[in-house]
Structure 1
Amino acid sequence: MHRLVIAADRALVDGAFRPAAVTVEDGRITAVEPLGATPAEAIRLAADEVLLPGLVDTHVHVNEPGRTEWEGFRTATAAAAAGGVTTLIDMPLNSIPPTIDPAALRVKREAAARSALVDVGFWGGAVPASLGSLEALWDAGVFGFKCFLAPSGVDEFPHLSHEQLDRALEELAAFDGLLIVHAEDPEVLDRHVGGGGPGYPAFVASRPPEAETTAISAVIEGIRRTGGRAHVLHLSAASALPLVAAAKAEGLRLTAETCPHYLVFDEEHIPDGATQYKCCPPIRDRANQDALWRGLLEGVVDLVVSDHSPSTPERKFAGGGDFQAAWGGIAGLQSGLSAVWTEARRRGVPLETVVDRFSRRTADFVGLGTKGRIAVGADADLVVFAPDAPYALEASGLRYRNPVSAYLHHELVGVVRRTLLAGVDVDPAAAPRGRLLERA
């Protein structure tokens, strides 16, 4: 039986920092006690370090198999651990085959089992061809079903029409499955098609807030009619916050997430041609960002997740700075906590509030009650974090398959010094120890 004790002047327990000695036995936390006399063999954190629960990132595109040159389980989970993430839930695209049936899920699980350094679960996909057969994938252990309401960017994962969205919600309501939705309306996008080019404001104008509010309204109407449950992915447009708040007040089972890049970057500071910042929906202006922060702190937005969506440099910089041609995704799995903490610190938002949105709330969202918390009986997934340590993120420090990220060269605060999975340090050079998770 593996046993250790970690002593910290500041450990995040029950939503607040306090001195604690955390005892770990056989991968689980067996005691959280006041910091007093600790055994000689205890790990004693430095004065500038805090003990956090491992983060749970429920929105990660690993891309293996099929597009492993973009990313893979080994590199993605190494980057996750470097950023304090001990559990990730893999999206059903952009891998080939997409995870839209039990056979494809088996392929995904086999790939992850060979390489994962942290724990990994899986989302299924709801595409037109899979409607009517979603329950089999649910029974195979996926945490829910991802769909797009606008083109996804890859041909093998087509989007749902509004009529198909209703069919999916009806089907999932029958077994209380969860639909997670990329909510942009294609008709609105078609009315705002831009001509491309390096101008960032023109790209933002091609994906206006109306695309999100129209799509989110359709999702809300669908769950109102079916009694189902749904989750809005990567909410970017603050104008959608009143819709989400009203749906929650009505008692509808709707949740929403946002991402570090929407909380950290703003339109005014993105140079023309800087396609490393391209994502869909887009990063909007500073006033919009301020409103997203308010929505997060008020509980309208439930979670913060990376939406890690990497690609090769050739795809990310396709067109030589043309926002229309470049791949629309940001690699942020490794830097999300420190990036958001840097901005939160500037805004006077405490670290415990930030960590809660990355850990306990994300874990509870997918039903992983033993993750995302420092508590007796929880998994001993722990992070040693130096919240006041500054650093500049450089390509040499990235563990992604391709060292491309919008966060490169930004001055950040908060360094992950150790990440433990089930009480054992994650070693990128060691044999994989990540466990494959299924919905409880």
Structure 2
Amino acid sequence: MTGTELLLRSTRVLTPEGEHPASVTVADGRIAAVLPHDAAAPPGARLVDLGTAALLPGLVDTHVHVNDPGRAEWEGFATATRAAAAGGITTLIDMPLNSVPPTTTPEHLAVKRAAARAVAHTDLGFWGGAVPDNTARLRPLHDAGVFGFKCFLSPSGVDEFPELDAERLAAAMAEIAAFDGLLIAHAEDPARLAEAPDPAGSRAYADFLASRPPAAELDAIRRLIALARRFGTRVHVLHLSTAAALPLIAEARADGVRISAETCPHFLTLTAEEVPDGATEFKCCPPIREAANQDALWAGLAAGTLDCVVSDHSPCTADLKVPDFGAAWGGISSLQLGLPAVWTAARARGHRLADVVRWMATGPARLAGLAHKGAIAPGMDADLTFLDPEATFTVDPAALHHRNPVTAYAGRTLHGVVRATWLRGRLIAEDGHVTGPAAGRLLTRGPAA
């Protein structure tokens, strides 16, 4: 153990006990101690006084589509992790689809890891995929270190990653339960989607919204709950859009079903009523719904029914965002903006920074089993974010680090400027600029690789 290298001091340090003045010391990449605000810097330690700005744990984003390799022109590991670092995120978990090959075998996982190893600016882990033909590969993928397995109950949008029908979903959940893994699911029912109106050729957001009805999410979640109850599988509902599902999840959890759920910044900050015709930068699946639904999602967060808020950063090249809601690629690009977007809406609703930390750092870290991430406490990785919570900025897509300058937040004024980000005590971003060479590590469920 070497001596303390760094002391960060602020009147607003967000720890598991709440927000209070403190000094945080860092040694060997870990938080060594959380001391009184006026504690003297240990000999040889560099003092950084943040004044009245806030010191948060580095955020953990467990829902990011990097697309690399194979579709790196959509998003690559270098650009995605640069955007994350600039936005106060220190750990990403990459989704298994949109890359070629998808992460559905241990061999494909090795290809992913090779593409990321030298270029990641944040720590980075990987989800595996559960698809129709790989049930026998799920345990080997688990043993290779993926954090769990993503599946679709309806078409994913890419041929390399087919959805699971009812029989194959049951088989996958039984297999995952056998080794106590985690299934994470895109929960929309294909039959409900098939009977909904087709938005092809329409520039109207209302037509797209009608094509992804709340009933599709509700039916799919009911199926997941029934199978989780049957097999004892741990299951997590991805990007929950409809608040009507919250009572189902709360009741199942009260009955002992091992189910959790997340929502996303765009569902908490954007509403269907404000989407202009042809503005397909707002298109995602499931969709951004009405303001009343958004209010109920916030209530679900406050009640603890929703466990975390993660980006579902799902980018594409600009040419795929054609103004036809039926034909445009669905996905919101917001990796760098999640913290200020959520904080802007949270503060307006009377929530505290401690709530945002619970939703965007502690909760996702718990979901992925990242025991050393998501909190400012002794022994944790010194992953830290310096946020000026009262400062504002106007979103300029050209100033963002993700590969293609498309975002639904363009032109919006947000509260909360990320001034600096540290990864294991090393400064990796400052005032929107990424500093130094890539320093991220590749993570498994155990030690970093």
| TM bracket, shorter-chain basis | over 0.9
Q: Which residue of 2 aligns with 1:255?
A: 260
Q: 31-40 or 326-335, which moves further after superposition?
A: 31-40
Q: Quote the Cα distance in structure 2 between the aligned partners of 1:161 and 1:193.
A: 22
Q: Which residue of 1 aligns with 2:136?
A: 132
Contact 1:237 1:284 in 2 (8 A): yes
Q: Quote the Cα distance in structure 1 between the aligned partners of 2:293 and 2:40.
A: 48
1:87: how far off? 0.1
Contact 2:23 2:39 in 1 (8 A): no
Deviations 1:381-413 (A, max 9, x none): 000000000110102210011111111111100
Q: Which residue of 1 aligns with 2:34?
A: 32
3-state SS in 2 of match to 1:337: helix
Q: Which residue of 2 aligns with 1:436?
A: 442
Q: Which residue of 2 aligns with 1:74?
A: 78
Q: Quote the Cα distance in structure 2 between the aligned partners of 1:225 and 1:162.
A: 14
Contact 1:27 1:423 in 2 (8 A): yes
> Please, which runs of 5 or more residues in structure 2 have no aligned partner?
none
User: What is the letter of the counterpart of residue 162 of structure 1?
Assistant: A
1:56: how far off? 0.3
Contact 2:199 2:325 in 1 (8 A): no
User: What is the letter of the counterpart of residue 33 of structure 1?
Assistant: L
1:114: how far off? 1.7
TM-score by length of 1: 0.98
User: What is the letter of the counterpart of residue 70 of structure 1?
Assistant: W
Q: Which residue of 1 aligns with 2:406?
A: 404
3-state SS in 2 of match to 1:42: strand
Contact 1:88 1:121 in 2 (8 A): yes
Q: Which residue of 2 aligns with 1:230?
A: 235
Q: Which residue of 1 aligns with 2:165?
A: 161
1:132: how far off? 2.3
Q: Quote the Cα distance in structure 1 between the aligned partners of 2:209 and 2:65.
A: 23
3-state SS in 2 of match to 1:20: strand
Contact 2:197 2:207 in 1 (8 A): no
Residue 142 of structure 1: which of 121, 142, 146 is its match? 146
User: What is the letter of the counterpart of residue 361 of structure 1?
Assistant: G
Q: Quote the Cα distance in structure 2 between the aligned partners of 1:135 and 1:359.
A: 28
TM-score by length of 2: 0.96
Contact 1:264 1:343 in 2 (8 A): yes
1:42: how far off? 1.0
Q: What is the 5 A alignment of 1:28-427? A: 28-39=30-41, 41-47=46-52, 49-196=53-200, 197-316=202-321, 318=322, 321-427=323-429
Q: Quote the Cα distance in structure 2 between the aligned partners of 1:326 and 1:248.
A: 36
Contact 1:7 1:38 in 2 (8 A): no
Q: Quote the Cα distance in structure 2 between the aligned partners of 1:348 and 1:271.
A: 28
Q: Quote the Cα distance in structure 1 between the aligned partners of 2:139 and 2:175.
A: 8
1:15: how far off? 4.1
3-state SS in 2 of match to 1:30: strand
Q: Quote the Cα distance in structure 2 between the aligned partners of 1:19 and 1:261.
A: 32
1:38: how far off? 2.4
Contact 1:120 1:435 in 2 (8 A): yes
3-state SS in 1 of match to 2:386: strand
> Please, which runs of 5 or more residues in structure 1 have no aligned partner?
none
3-state SS in 2 of match to 1:262: helix
Q: Quote the Cα distance in structure 2 between the aligned partners of 1:54 and 1:184.
A: 31
Contact 1:15 1:352 in 2 (8 A): no
1:13: how far off? 1.1
3-state SS in 2 of match to 1:231: strand
User: What is the letter of the counterpart of residue 81 of structure 1?
Assistant: A
User: What is the letter of the counterpart of residue 425 of structure 1?
Assistant: L
3-state SS in 2 of match to 1:420: strand
Q: Quote the Cα distance in structure 2 between the aligned partners of 1:302 and 1:231.
A: 10
Deviations 1:225-258 (A, max 9, x none): 1111100000001111111011111011000000
3-state SS in 2 of match to 1:247: helix
CA RMSD of aligned residues (A): 1.1
1:332: how far off? 1.0
Contact 1:220 1:247 in 2 (8 A): yes
3-state SS in 1 of match to 2:236: strand
1:41: how far off? 3.7
Q: Quote the Cα distance in structure 2 between the aligned partners of 1:241 and 1:7.
A: 40
Deviations 1:390-439 (A, max 9, x none): 11010221001111111111110000000000101115353211000001
Contact 1:15 1:356 in 2 (8 A): no
1:149: how far off? 0.3
3-state SS in 2 of match to 1:24: strand
Q: Which residue of 1 aligns with 2:21?
A: 19
1:36: how far off? 1.5
Deviations 1:76-129 (A, max 9, x none): 000001110000000001100000000000011111102100000000000001
Contact 1:212 1:240 in 2 (8 A): yes
Contact 2:427 2:435 in 1 (8 A): no
1:26: how far off? 1.1
3-state SS in 2 of match to 1:31: strand
Deviations 1:276-334 (A, max 9, x none): 00000000001100000001110111110000000000012x2xx11011000001111
Q: Quote the Cα distance in structure 2 between the aligned partners of 1:376 and 1:37.
A: 16
